[in-house]
Amino acid sequence: MAREIPHRYLQDNDGAEYFPVTSGKAIEELDKAASIVAINEKIVEINDKMKLMDLTLGDMVGDTGWIDYQVSTTNTKNYISSAPPCAIREVRVGNDLNGKWFVVRSIRLNIGKINHDQIIAQLPQGFTNEAVSFVLRSNGNKTPIEISIEKDATVKAYLNGSDSDLWACGEYTWLV
């Protein structure tokens, strides 16, 4: 190296002489140490952003899976053995951080021995906050059964005319 730095002879605790050795290059590269500090600060910043992204994305989709519900004792639950069982499901998409999300709710009915204007099931409170009505197929030559989920989470069936002792089987999905 062309440039030398003068050294002082120092003594350690035992009185032995020593001198620190360095080079001009080592001192000249001292400015690179500042960039290492900047890199470490950037790493901390990126880690903080990744934690926020994990929180945001972890809240994006929630799915209850299919949950069983109670059917009235006067009805037969899961009446048709080849059809899916009675169950409800809620899927939430979006996130609470920005307040934008939507909910998809589904109900599967497989109930027998249904009569007109009868409460056929009780869903968990809060499953729906508004009345929802739809039609499901029934016995061969009968008209479909109208199903209504009331605000109090009861499920009622409405049959056509003098029909009685029918079954209803199907699935209904709606967007909240």
Domain ranges for the chain: 10-58, 61-175
d(CA 147, CA 22): 87
Amino acid at 133: S
What residues have CB less than 8 Å from 4, skipping those under 6 apart?
24
CATH number given to 61-175: 2.60.40.1830
Cβ atoms of 169 and 109 closer than 8 Å:
yes
Cβ atoms of 133 and 139 closer than 8 Å:
no
- 152-161 pLDDT per residue, tens: 999 999 998 7
- 62-89 pLDDT per residue, tens: 899 999 999 999 999 999 999 999 999 9
Cα angle for residues 157, 163, 165 (degrees, 5° grid) = 70
- 134-172 pLDDT per residue, tens: 999 888 778 889 999 999 999 999 998 777 889 999 999
